[in-house]
Structure 1
Amino acid sequence: MRVSVSWLREYVDLPADLAPADLEQALVNLGIEVESIVDLGETVTGSLVVGEVREIEELTGFKKPIRFCRVDVGDANGTGEPQEIVCGARNFGVGDRVVVILPGGVLPGGFAIGARRTYGRNSNGMICSAKELGLGDDHSGILVLPPDSPAKPGDDARPVVGLDDVVVEVELTPDRGYQMSVRGIARELGHALGVPFRDPGLAPAPGATQRPAYPVEVRDPVGCDRFAARMVRGVDPAAPTPSWLARRLTTAGIRSISLPVDITNYVMLELGQPMHAFDADRIAGPLVVRRAEPGEKLTTLDGVARTLVAEDMVICDDTGPISLAAVMGGETSEVVEGTTSVLFEAAHWDPVMVGRTARRHRLFSEAAKRWERGVDPALPLVAIERAVRLLTEHGGGTAGDEILDIDHVRARTPITIPADLPTRRVGVEYPPARVAALLERVGCRVATGADRLGEDPGEVGVAAGGGVALTVTPPTWRPDLTDPADLVEEVVRFDGYDRVPSVLPVAPAGRGLTWQQRRRRAVARALADQGYVEVLAQPFVSTELADQLGLPADDPRRRGVRLANPLSEEEPLLRTTLLGPLLGALKRNLGRSQRDLALYEIGAVFHPRPGAGSPPAMGVAHRPSDAELAAADATLPDQPLHVAVALTGEIERAGWWGPGRAAGWADAVEAARVVLAVAGIPDERVTVRAAEYAPWHPGRCAQLLVDDAVVGHAGELHPAAVAALDLPRRTCAMELDLDAVPAAPLRSGPSISTFPPALIDVALVVDESVPAAQVQRALVEGAGELLEEVRLFDVYASAQLGAGRRSLAYKLTFRAPDRTLTVEEAVAARDAAVARAAERFGATLRGA
């Protein structure tokens, strides 16, 4: 929302010497986020003058239309001769007055203007658009001054276009729709600065007449609980929009279109009441306000033909829908150049309906933005009166005496709030009389029992201390005030957020991280130390992901939890595996020219509980009981914590030092081993064996077990899954269920021997189908207590070993804690280790 301070001053008595910094602080203190406060006079330096176009020469032979203009800028250029300027815009003609910046000037953003030769002509300065002047977002054409502007060529253009003003831009929260207007912001400033505020929403307006301004039938009073209209006939179709009105629209970022349409936009910005102007001569028959019929068509003002659904609301005449209610009008009834009879409409629409319609049609108009946040239902007649007066004053015509007002608005429901609730919730002492005064300042009607609270502050304080409840009726312009918590927020906001102390809770002694939290942090550090980069992917997946990963039809990972209100209809399910979102992040990085990637994520997956049903309904009046909480928890999906990695490209970079190495399935398996090691699981409790498990390659997939319980899989992804996800060949991945990994056992400190080790290498020939990890485990079991370490350092295969055979070379380290081992002891331990491997896998010593 952008608004000029001069407009605000019409309704709130801001101090004459109010500095921009003080204005910003006043808004921030009320919880309004200020995007910017710009003194427009300081945004443009140099000579910015009014110019009158004298000649236009069309230049040809270029890729786009170019015009060579001679513009009268008076004596501003020091010569009095017309200024020669090259311009590409085409929305102005000879005789139009425009805004010209002369050489030496600087436009917003530091854009310096000089004299240069371009398109074969000398260009001395620039004819400016509203966007170039920082007045709005319209860059479609030059800013042309209205014919009634008194400015002459050579005059300073700053006051003419509003560059002598201060513009405030605020970012509003979705629940505060009343702030999307001059009325709302002026009201807030009046509260913040303690200065008088004159509410334009309380301006007198005539009520409904027995004879309506136009025949209208409202068939859905829930979707439209108020509809007002009034006719103005005999409007001058050539009447221009007043310069001051057009300037304010431009400042707010709205393009001037025509006088009737500009007036509706102006009233919307001023009061917060969206309106619509119909060409009454183009309406066929009575108007009907109803829900759309599925499949009905409507071409809106943006030229798009839209197919309507039953939830949309439309305004119809005898030809069918002529307006998508509360969002955008239709082409068949819009105000055009020859319009002389204007029917102004101001209504009140259901915000939920408007929000859904705007999102369904991707049509976020300024009106829809206000309707979905809530609009004051008391405004339609005031807005109609304001629009009619502006049109008859500046466009001629005669306002009809007939006024239509179909009013089904329900009175606001009072809210009961304990007088001491703000004190209990916030921790600041708010006397009951202070609470009542602050709520009345908001615009609420406050009462306790049958008496008005605040007439006798002393008595009220005593009564409230005994447990008196306040009955609060919110004002019509605050639809966001619906329960006691909202009122507490308003009390704190108007009393001052700075009065609320910042107090940190005292941490209870003797508590630290749980072992699960320590494990998660250790896993994250270990993977980062291995060169993996953490990603935080959204937990939402598409329904096609299971097919892309090649999951079997009976795989439990196919059964996902469907979201009732997904952020995207393309991803309506919660993930049952980390691989989908993680591989999606991998693909996005590949699309940004990253070729060597090692990513990891730690997060929850979601498995639905069979027969869980729906959660019980729980209100907010009191804390749910333990039984209600247990029933609600029983409906939640299981959410085990998983860790996953994905690799592609080179794991070791190539360079002058060597050829490098591509990431392979063994790296994914090693990542799983690292995770289990930092989780405190001894290596002898970990088993790695071949498996077939989607989406991994059946010949390059490892199953990881802890104490014979499967905790995860690692390896190279299946070629079909890689192709479906558009990933590089031989992409590898690993996923472990951290919740399935048992807690680390208690360990005693290691004993360190001071005696020298005995180092013996053994090379065992086994079938290539035998996992090296299982051979290593057999060596450990056979060697006994003297074995300190065993490490695989070579894998070899050749024709001499025989088909289907390979050699595994291990380095064995033997050491005794109390003596130096003899050769016989070390050799005996080695032989026992080899014997165990031979017994279990038929291993033979290479070369024996």
Structure 2
Amino acid sequence: MKFSEKWLRQWVNPSITSQELMDQVTMAGLEVDGSEKAAEDFSGVVVGEILSCAQHPNADKLQVCQVTNGTDTVQVICGAPNARQGLKVAFAEVGAVLPGDFKIKKAKLRQEESFGMLCSEKELGLSEAHDGIMELATDAVVGADLREYLELDDLIIDVDLTPNRADCLSLRGLAREVGVLNKASVTEPTIAPVAAVHQETFPVNLIDTKGCPRYVGRVLNDVDVSVSTPVWMAERLRRSGIRSIDPVVDVTNYVMLELGQPMHGFDLDELAERIDVRRAEKGEKITLLDGQEIELTEQILVIADAKGPLAMAGIMGGENSGVSTKTTRVFLESAFFAPIQIAGKARGYGLHTDSSHRFERGVDSQLQEMAVERATQLLVDICGAKPGPLIVEENKDTVPVPAEIELYAEVVSSSLGMELSDQTIRQILTGLEFSILAEQDGYWKVRAPSWRFDMAIQADLIEEIARIYGYNNLPVTAPMAAMKPQGPKEQATDVNLLVDRMVSLGYQEAITYSFVEPAAQKAMFPKKDGIELANPISADMSVMRVSLWPGLLKALQHNLNRQQDNVRLFETGQRFRQEEKGLAQIDMLAGVVTGSRLAQGWYESGETVDFYDVKGDLEQLLALIKGVEFEFVTGKNSALHPGQCARIERNGKLVGYIGALHPNLAKQYGFKKDVFLFELRLDRTLPAELPSFEPLSRHPASTRDLAVVVDEDVSVSSVMDTVREMAGEDLISLNLFDIYRGKGIDSKRKSLAMGLTWQNPSRTLTDDEINRFMESIIKTLQTRLDAVLRG
């Protein structure tokens, strides 16, 4: 927020310099981003008055003006269309120096002498307006120095406020802060109720009282919008970064800057029957003041009449409802909109206005009547408006109730590291306009003011006390804490351990965007819809990723296009999917591999990496998870090759996938070599099993070998699971040591050879017991998997 220092000092004027003021405000938590002069340097410019205007004898577009500076009258040639008799103007006399070191000299234009120059705002460096000379108020003192008259020796200060301090988005709020920081009195402008001169009102219907608990309005008749906004008001608006438009709009903007209450003026003759404050209906559209037509959603709060929406509540008015040059009757609006109902709505349409900036952070819920009275008096003074009675609609049940908080001096002392007197604490609280509800030695119960939405607990009050007392005044103390060493949790696996292992295996860590191209992602995962961004960076980065693979494949493509043929990339990050419970953000680890099995060298045979190379890398990675066994099971994934795809499971639960990129996708990306991918859900992968001790057996183990022939489509895991099931609880080891296909075996079958080891902790197992286990295993394999014992 930008504000004029001179304007602020009319509210509160501590005996400190401009730099001290900015430093003080910054240390109080209202960071000053910068400052600039209110006007460029110029001299020799006074308030002048045009006594007469006559057509230039030798030029159609020039006038010969007689201008006085209060002492002398001189002739000035002027080409401005608004130059006229009786106008008070900015008069640069001969010898004046304008911005850019432009010196005013005696001149002759088309054979007529000119002794000075009548200046536009642009020529004085005040604004970009240059369509005419600057018009001053009729009560301006002729001959007065323009810099003094407009108070141009001023500083514009830009304050960057945190979202919780919406109360300081006004001169009133800033003055309160400066006043309590300097223990100085704050002089507010006198705002008295304006007496109604007629009884005309306009019906207001609060339908959504949750979104709009309070709505205040007033009918103003005989409003003359043709008058010019007073220079003092236009100047204060300019110094706050707001362009002057017309007196009605300027007054509402001025009150917003002064008090912090956004307002809107409707052309009453354009309103139909009533004002409704409600939610937008599905399909309703509105054309905003900036000419943009938008379709409203049912979440948008609108101000409407009988014909339809007039404005997006708390954001922007409609094009057809605002004040125009034909307006004579105005309906003045001042409302309180619940911050949660406004927050994010403007950004959803790519909008950001001074009004939405304030309402979504929180406007004082008790400010509306004061704002209407202030705006009414200004419009009466400037435009000759005739006010009607105040219209107040309110639902007290939904108006925010200020927090009541208990504060203890001993907690203040322990938090700040020093003791503050009860008097100091009380002085700070009352200076910030907290109401003291109850008070004892070292104890206060206070009620927050209506504009402090950020006050809720005792810590908030302590922060306010520290802020106002001054952080630099607090002692520097070392923290006292018991430093007990804590070992790592045995069941937790640090993801950095996996990252280090990937690097040691020759992978490079990549970081890709969380948003990807919709078409590319849809091609990989046709049944998973990505979450669309409301304001994407670009069209090809407009949805959130449902997997890390799209980003890694794009990175792979980037490397291959730059002659990097051997690529091994991995990434840790989140994927985003819409699930029944809402948005799911899941930590993942994924990788992509292509190229040669070994780095280029005399020993390298040119073999390309295959599925089992990547599977081996992944098995090394998963071996870091203590006490957990992972299985690779034949699976299907829309992004992977149907014949080279495996599910990675833990206790039967899916934790990831590994496989070759689907041929269609490889063709789409232009990959000429095989590309392999893997991805793991870290929330299901990282937890380790707590190790437990088992005593070693003193008795000898018994080992047997078993070779069976099964069909090719029978998986090894199903055979080994059957063996474990039938081998009894004393089986301590099962090892597959051979897979044979070839001579002596049917071409559609394969031979699996396994080593089995039994050991009992309390006795030696007999041959009969082992034989029974073997018979049970062989019989079950035969009946369940059509296995045949190999001779």
* TM-score bracket for this pair, using the shorter chain length: 0.5 to 0.7
Note the C-alpha offset of 1:424. Answer: 5.2
1:389 shift after superposition: 1.6
Structure 2 Cα separation of the partners of residues 595 and 129 of structure 1: 63
2:255 paired with 1:285: no
For residue 290 of structure 1, give the secondary structure of its aligned residue in structure 2: strand
Match of 2:251 in 1: 263
**Residues of 2 paired with 1:524 and 1:127: CA distance?**
75
1:189 is the counterpart of 2:178: yes
- Asked if 1:720 is matched to 2:664, the reply is yes
Q: Which residue of 2 aligns with 1:803?
A: none
| DSSP 3-state at the match of 2:215 | strand
The reply to whether residue 535 of structure 1 matches residue 535 of structure 2 is no
1:406 is matched with which residue?
393
Letter of the 1:516 partner, please give it: D
Q: 1:209 to 1:131 in 2, by over 3 A?
A: closer
| Structure 2: distance between partners of 1:516 and 1:250 | 56
Alignment partners' CA distance in 2, 1:339 and 1:376: 30
Q: Deviations over 1:101-133 (max 9, x none)?
A: 9999997xxx99999xxxxxxxxxx99998998
Q: Secondary structure at the match of 1:368?
A: helix
Deviation at 1:183, TM superposition (A): 0.9
Task: Name the residue aligned to 1:441.
Answer: 431
1:10 aligns with 2:25: no
TM-score by length of 2: 0.64
How many correspondences in the alignment?
639
Q: Is the 8 A contact 2:594 2:675 kept in 1?
A: yes
Deviation string, structure 1 residues 355-391 (Cα, Å, up to 9, x no partner): 3542344332211211111111222221112112212
Could you give the per-residue CA deviations for residues 570-591 of structure 1, whole angstroms, max 9, x where no partner exists?
999986642234446778x899
Partner of 1:846: none
Return the offset for 1:333: 2.9
Cross-structure match for 1:363: 351
Measured in 2, the distance between the counterparts of 1:178 and 1:383 equals: 14
Give distance in 2, aligned partners of 1:599 and 1:23.
57
Counterpart of 1:28 in structure 2 is 26
Which residue of structure 2 aligns with residue 226 of structure 1?
A: 214
Secondary structure at 1:237's aligned position in 2?
coil
Structure 2 unaligned runs (5+)?
69-73, 105-116, 689-791
**Distance of 1:44 and 1:348 partners within structure 2:** 42
In the alignment, what sits opposite 2:154? Answer: 165
Report Cα offsets for 1:163-194 as digits up to 9, x if no partner. Answer: 42101111112222111111111111112222
1:204 correspondence with 2:173: no
Pick from 324, 341, 346 the counterpart of residue 312 of structure 2: 324
Task: Determine helix, strand or coil for the equivalent of 2:302.
Answer: strand
Cα root mean square deviation, aligned = 6.0
Of 454, 473, 497 in structure 2, the residue corresponding to residue 519 of structure 1 is 497
Cα displacement (A) at 1:438: 2.9
Q: Is the 8 A contact 2:208 2:277 kept in 1?
A: yes
- The structural deviation recorded for 1:302 is 1.9
What's the offset of the Cα at 1:550? Answer: 4.9
> Aligned partners of 2:612 and 2:142: how far apart in 1?
79
CA distance in 1 between partners of 2:167 and 2:192 (Å): 20
Q: Contact (CA 8 Å) 1:583, 1:646: kept in 2 or not? A: no
**C-alpha distance in 1 between matches for 2:174 and 2:429:** 18
Structure 1: how far apart are the matches of 2:507 and 2:45?
58
In structure 2, the residue matched to 1:642 is 589
**Aligned to 2:213, what secondary structure does the other structure show?**
strand
Superposition map of 1:570-589 within 5 A? 577-583=547-553
- Aligned CA distance change for structure 1 residues 331 and 517 (closer, same or farther; 3 Å): closer
Q: Distance in 2 between matches of 1:637 and 1:157?
A: 63
* Residues 2, 251 of structure 1: 8 Å contact kept: yes
CA contact (8 A) 2:166 2:358 kept: yes
Aligned-partner residue type, residue 469 of structure 2 = D
Instruction: Map Cα deviations across residues 29-69 of structure 1 (whole Å, 9 max, x no partner).
Output: 1111211122346x65899999999999xxxxxxxxxxx99
Amino acid at match of 1:229: G
Partner of 1:746: none
Asked if 1:549 corresponds to 2:524, the answer is: yes
**Aligned-partner residue type, residue 12 of structure 1:** V
Quick one: distance in 2 between partners of 1:646 and 1:205?
A: 76
Q: 2-side partners of 1:665 and 1:106: how far apart?
A: 76
Structure 2 CA distance for partners of 1:676 and 1:148, relative to 1, 3 Å: farther
Q: Name the SS for the 1:331 alignment partner.
A: coil
Superposed CA offset, 1:70-127 (max 9, x none): 999999xxxx998999xxxxxx7463978999999997xxx99999xxxxxxxxxx99
Contact 1:672-1:736 at 8 Å conserved across structures: no
Query: For 1:25 and 1:610, how far apart are their aligned partners in 2?
Result: 49
Where does the alignment leave 5 or more consecutive residues of structure 1 unmatched? 57-67, 86-91, 116-125, 454-458, 465-469, 615-635, 654-660, 744-848
Partner amino acid, structure 2, of 1:579: W
Aligned position for 2:451: 477
Find the counterpart in structure 2 of residue 122 from structure 1.
Answer: none
Aligned-partner residue type, residue 270 of structure 2: R
Q: Indicate the residue corresponding to 1:386 in structure 2.
A: 374
* Code of the aligned partner of 1:11: W
CA contact (8 A) 1:158 1:164 kept: yes
Q: Aligned equivalents of 2:578 and 2:154: distance in 1? A: 62
Q: Which moved more, 1:182-191 or 1:420-429?
A: 420-429
Change (3 A) 1:114 1:730: farther
Using the aligned pairs only, state the percent identity: 28
**Which residue in 2 is equivalent to 1:625?**
none
Q: 1:324 to 1:503 in 2, by over 3 A?
A: same
Partner of 1:311: 299
How far did 1:397 drift?
3.6
SS at match of 1:343: strand
Contact 2:507 2:570 in 1 (8 A): no
Q: Secondary structure at the match of 2:241?
A: coil
1:259 shift after superposition? 0.8
d(CA) in 2 for partners of 1:719, 1:346: 63
CA distance in 1, matches of 2:182, 2:332: 36
